[in-house]
Amino acid sequence: MTKDGNDAGEYEDAFSLDIESKRFAIADGASESSFSKAWAQILASGFTNDSDRLALAGQKRGTDARLLKWLVPLQSDWNTAIPWQSLPWFAAEKAQSGAFAAFLGLELSNVNRGRVRYRWQAVSVGDCMMFKVGDGELKAVFPTESRVSFGSTAPLLCSNPINNDYAFRNINVSNGVLAQGDHVFLCTDALAEWFIAQCRAGEKPWFELGSFVTLGDFGETIAHLRSKRLLHNDDTTMLSIRIE
């Protein structure tokens, strides 16, 4: 859902999924940077289409090197997509700093032992989050709340490699298993922050988020939450994955 007051072309979140490879990704472009919409989509699609399998061993060690290698062609793709020759000098100067985006990628691999269906591995930078629900209860949060900073202090991946030091100091990785009946939600920052606030208040937001049948259902709920000032007016994206 686009931020209220913006048209669809101004949506700066992104998502991508590949059912065959069981890879899912969301990204949230930073409005303050130039061409962040393109960068967010390049990151999300770059994860689900990745032939070199960025997705990690679920441990921090070595992840920064893999992430660095993975980013190089994506940064080149972003640079190629920018119409440099037609930009006014001031716009070109700003774009030279690069685009910024939060990112989360999730990969599932088959296990099929009893109720356990998959092993999951995930990587993130910034304030996109994953919530795992099983047997009607919240079982896992990634990144952990202590590792997430919402707003202007959140680390972000940049299309300009010289601006990624902070992001590389704040890479999150984790892994676990998913059983039959589990439900996973990947959320960009506004919805992730609302989800956490609901949990702190003793609510179970996954029941509402897991009940959607259509995009319209999602849109109605997001509009309602915004109208009640329970959800920040920001681009809002969710991937909902149910394990059958």
pLDDT of residue 57: 46
Q: What is the pLDDT of residue 53?
A: 56
Are 47 and 16 a contacting pair, CB within 8 Å? yes
Task: Indicate the helix (H) or strand (E) that contains 13.
Answer: strand 13-18
Structure confidence at residue 58 (pLDDT): 47
- Torsion sign across C-alpha atoms 200, 142, 189, 167: positive
Residue 62 in this model has a pLDDT that exceeds 70: no
| Look-up of token digits 């660095």 | 68
Residue 145 gets which letter from DSSP?
Answer: G
Confidence of residue 236 (pLDDT cuts 50, 70, 90): very high
Average pLDDT over residues 26-34: 90
C-alpha angle with apex 225: 223 to 229, nearest 5 degrees? 115
Q: How many CB atoms lie within 10 A of CB 187?
A: 26
pLDDT at 123 over 80: yes
Specify the higher pLDDT residue, 99 or 113.
99
**Cα–Cα dist 84/136, whole Å:** 51
Residue 55 has pLDDT above 70, yes or no: no
Cα separation, 122 vs 61, in Å, equals 14
pLDDT single digits (tens) 4-14 = 988 888 899 99
State mean pLDDT over 29-52: 88
Q: Which of 125, 147, 144, 150 is nearest to 54 (CA)?
A: 125
- Condensed to tens digits (0 to 9), the pLDDT of residues 186-197 reads 999 999 999 999
**pLDDT, tens only, 201-218:** 999 999 999 999 888 999
d(CA 107, CA 66): 15
Single-letter amino acid code for the residue at 137: E
Q: What's the CATH superfamily of 8-242?
A: PPM-type phosphatase domain (3.60.40.10)
Q: Mean pLDDT throughout 27-45?
A: 92
